[in-house]
């Protein structure tokens, strides 16, 4: 290869690398995808067949990206008029009390359901080392004020559909027995649980149904045809999307709407739109 051809080739590669970097930093982190799925639920009341349930996860309000994107995404989703909305944790990327104020500003535009809106906490909602109860309480208060019922090892039933919320696995209030031991297997239910690793614990008391999680962000960057190199879970199977746990439970892991750091590749931000059906 002649020297001139070599230089031209290397310049082309450098240009492609720069474009890929810009795409990963400035395009995909803000390229929202509405993922549509069917959600068959045993003993679902007939009146709820065809209703929509939207899942939002890991919005990570903080200083690391422009959270106007979150507000814009909520407004787009609200136009779809969801019946139920659930949030599966990590509302902030906590550094100090400033994030509580920032979250309050974002949640003035919170996406809510016409029938019910529920949420659970994630590890980042517990502040430093996931151990600050006062931070979790402050964030819970902001969520409640925004119309989001926070479930901390609790169950709430609305229009015949129960939402079971487990507090965060890494936080200070993870007590699934408080709610799972009371679960009625004949009741149509959906479990909200931020960290999907909880699926592998012996806490489910025969539950059969859907479990909605977040936490992984789908890895945020995923090489084509390969698993993401970084995942904050012990079970590397738990990346993103729908996973049959082969025991009557179905796990769905949302890829996150926000991000810890402003970089995504092959893992677009997501709001999931489930259509309820009777199994």
Q: List, in order of start, the domains of the chain with CATH numbers.
A: 31-278 (3.60.21.10)
Quote the CA–CA distance of 222 and 176 in Å, as a whole number. Answer: 32
Nearest C-alpha neighbor of 62 from the set 102, 21, 3, 15: 102
DSSP 88-124: ES--B--SSTHHHHHHHHHGGG----SSEEEEE--GG
pLDDT confidence bin for 56, thresholds 50/70/90: very high
SS3 22: helix
How is residue 107 written in tokens?
Answer: 């949640």
- Kindly tell me if the per-residue pLDDT of 97 is higher than 70: yes
What is the percentage of the chain residues whose pLDDT exceeds 90? Answer: 88
Residues 6+ apart with CB under 8 A from 107: 142, 143, 145, 146, 148
Q: What percent of the chain has pLDDT over 70?
A: 94
- State residue 25's pLDDT score: 83
- Which stretches of the chain are assigned E, i.e. beta strand? 33-41, 52-56, 84-88, 116-120, 149-150, 154-158, 161-166, 189-193, 210-213, 241-244, 250-253, 270-278
pLDDT tens-digit profile of 178-208? Answer: 999 999 999 999 999 999 999 999 999 999 9
pLDDT digits (tens, 9 = 90+) for 4-53: 543 344 344 344 546 777 899 899 999 999 999 999 999 999 999 999 99
């Amino acid at each position: 290869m002649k020297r001139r051809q070599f230089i031209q080739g290397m310049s082309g590669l450098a240009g492609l690398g720069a474009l890929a970097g810009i795409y990963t930093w400035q395009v995909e982190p803000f390229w929202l995808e509405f993922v549509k799925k069917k959600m068959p639920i045993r003993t679902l009341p007939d009146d709820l067949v065809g209703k929509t349930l939207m899942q939002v996860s890991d919005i990570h309000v903080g200083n690391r990206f422009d959270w106007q994107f979150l507000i814009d995404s909520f407004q787009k989703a609200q136009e779809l008029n969801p019946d139920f909305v659930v949030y599966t944790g990590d509302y902030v990327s906590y550094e100090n009390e400033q994030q509580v104020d920032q979250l309050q500003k974002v949640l003035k535009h919170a996406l809510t359901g016409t029938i019910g809106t529920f949420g659970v906490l994630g590890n980042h909602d517990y502040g430093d080392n996931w151990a600050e109860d006062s931070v979790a309480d402050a964030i819970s208060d902001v969520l409640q004020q925004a119309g989001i019922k926070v479930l901390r090892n609790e169950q709430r039933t609305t229009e015949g559909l129960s939402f079971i919320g487990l507090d965060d696995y890494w936080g200070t209030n993870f007590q699934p027995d408080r709610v799972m031991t009371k679960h009625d297997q004949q009741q149509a239910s959906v479990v909200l649980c931020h960290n999907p690793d909880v699926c592998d614990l012996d806490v489910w008391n025969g539950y059969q149904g859907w479990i909605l999680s977040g936490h992984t962000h789908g890895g945020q960057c995923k090489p084509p045809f390969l698993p993401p190199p970084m995942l904050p879970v012990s079970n590397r199977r738990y990346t993103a999307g729908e996973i049959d746990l082969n025991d009557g439970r179905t796990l769905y892991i949302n890829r996150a709407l926000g991000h810890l750091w402003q970089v995504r590749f092959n893992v677009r931000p997501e709001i999931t739109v489930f259509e309820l059906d009777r199994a």
